[in-house]
Each structure stands twice: as C-alpha cells, then as structure tokens.
C-alpha cells in the first residue's frame, strides 16, 4: 500500500475523488471511466521467477493495454523490478501482486474461484478451446526453464499456445501478449460485457487513478479533508494542473 491507498482506506474513495476531480478536465475523467468499463479482473497472468526484467516489464505493459487489472509475480529469489522505460508508466494503473512461492500464489487464486493453468508445450488444452466461462489464471514460466515442476503440480492443468513454425516457444513477453489478448477477447464474449470490475473496487480505482493524475495529490487530499473539518484551513481554489498525455 502507498500513501494514496492509505488515504482511500482512511477517508473513502468518494472523499478522495471529490478532492482531486475539480483539478481534472471532463475529458480526463471520461477517459478514466472508459478504461474502468473495460477492466477485467477474471483473467489473471502469473509470471514465475523472471530472469529478464525487460521481459517482465513488457508483459506488464501488454496486460495493462489489454485491460487486465491484476498481475501476479512470483519471486523465489531476486525481487522483480519494473523497468520504467519499458512499461512507459503503465504499471501505475495495474495492481501488482508479489509472491515468494508459486504454491501460495496458485492456492490464493484457486480460493478466489480461479481455474489456474500452466503454459506448457503440447498441453491438451489450448487458448482457442479452453473454457472461459469461469475466472481463469495463466502461469508463465521464466525464459530458460518455463514453469517449474512445483508450479505445474500446483495448477489445475496445462495450456498450450498454438504454433505453426519450427520454433518451439515464444519469448516470455510475446507469450503473455498472445495468450492474454486471445483469452481476454473470449472472456469478454462469454461475459457479454467489456469488463467485470465489482462496484467497490471500481470506486477505489477511479479515485486512485484520478489522484495519480495530480501532482502533489496527497497534499491536495489532506487539505481537502482538513477543509471539511476545519473551515479555517479550507483548501484554496487551485488551477487545473498540466496532465500526462
């Protein structure tokens, strides 16, 4: 949790949004709502024991662009660090979950109602035919060894990516992009909707994303709250700030 999350927990998303919304253009708020409308939380990528941080960052960028909200990283050894030059800041809009072991990650997702599949060459199911009528999580292994034996054993099954050439595997970030793009399309078709964010989580994300567009948002929110309880320190009117493109 960061300072914004703590403020949302303390004051609620409506208060946080009320503090920062006057500093955003209607177009920016409409853009936030459009992205929220398409957010999927019932399709989750899991990446295990990355070696190349650039590959991981590229995978995060693809997942966010495709409208996925949650991204799980298993870190049995070295901590995964986001390469900002690759993600182009998109990691701000995702929820990154970190795990020390694949078994704990898989068990958590299964307890949340997900079917969890490990990517593996020659698997009986593939991305064109796997059941997408229920929440689905897909585990991707690292660039050298693929999904570990412990990961495969913990999962509910395996999943193949169709290939037509001599090459036996895709690059990790390419695998994540191909799998999530196809499964996201199929999952949305099954839902009959662009996204499936629960109302409570949508409200939190709306407040958080709005605040992330404001420089010094934490101070703005704190002054707004103080102004509600102590009129003598009410927040002074502020101009709209320059926003990211």
**Which tens digit of pLDDT belongs to each residue from 40-78?**
999 999 999 776 767 888 899 999 999 999 999 998 876
The answer on pLDDT for 181 being more than 50 is yes
Residue 32: what pLDDT?
A: 97
> What is the distance between the alpha carbons of residues 219 and 213, in angstroms, rounded to a whole number?
13
User: What is the average pLDDT across 89-104?
Assistant: 91
Mean pLDDT value across the chain: 88
pTM given for the model? 0.86
User: What is the average pLDDT across 186-202?
Assistant: 97
Q: Is 177 exposed, middle or buried (0-12, 13-18, 19+ CB in 10 A)?
A: buried
Q: Which residues are bridge partners to 138 per DSSP?
A: 45, 117
Residue 28: what pLDDT?
A: 96
Residue 184: what pLDDT?
A: 98
Higher pLDDT, 149 or 146: 149
Edge-first strand listing for the sheet containing 125-126: 95-99, 70-74, 43-48, 136-140, 115-119, 157-160, 125-126
> What is the distance between the alpha carbons of residues 177 and 12, in angstroms, rounded to a whole number?
34
Q: 50-70 burial string, b = 16+ CB within 10 Å, else e?
A: beeeebbbbbbbbbbebbbbb
Residue 222: what pLDDT?
A: 93
> What is the distance between the alpha carbons of residues 14 and 49, in angstroms, rounded to a whole number?
38
Higher pLDDT, 90 or 221: 221
The CATH code that applies to domain 40-191 is 3.40.1280.10
> What is the distance between the alpha carbons of residues 73 and 48, in angstroms, rounded to a whole number?
6
CATH 3.40.1280.10 domain locations along the chain: 40-191
């Amino acid at each position: 949790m960061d300072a914004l999350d703590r403020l949302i927990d303390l004051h609620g998303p409506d208060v946080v949004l009320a503090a920062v919304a006057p500093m955003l253009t209607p177009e920016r708020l409409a853009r936030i709502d459009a992205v929220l409308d398409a957010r999927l939380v019932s399709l989750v990528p899991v990446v295990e024991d990355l070696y190349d941080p650039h590959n991981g960052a590229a995978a995060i960028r693809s997942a966010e662009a495709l409208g996925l909200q949650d991204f799980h990283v298993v870190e049995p050894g070295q901590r995964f660090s986001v390469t900002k030059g690759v993600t182009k800041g998109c990691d701000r809009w995702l929820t990154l979950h970190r795990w020390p072991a694949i078994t704990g990650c898989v068990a958590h997702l299964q307890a949340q109602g997900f079917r969890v599949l490990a990517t593996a060459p020659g698997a009986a199911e593939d991305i064109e035919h796997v059941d997408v009528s229920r929440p689905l999580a897909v585990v991707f292994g690292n660039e050298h060894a693929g999904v570990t034996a412990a990961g495969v054993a913990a999962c509910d099954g395996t999943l193949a990516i169709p290939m037509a050439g001599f090459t036996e595997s895709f690059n990790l970030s390419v695998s994540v992009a191909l799998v999530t793009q196809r499964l996201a399309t199929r999952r949305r078709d099954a839902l009959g909707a662009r996204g499936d964010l629960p109302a409570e989580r949508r409200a939190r994300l709306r407040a958080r994303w709005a605040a992330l567009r404001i420089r010094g948002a934490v101070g703005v929110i704190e002054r707004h709250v103080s102004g509600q309880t102590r009129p003598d320190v009410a927040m002074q009117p502020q101009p709209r700030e320059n926003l990211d493109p």
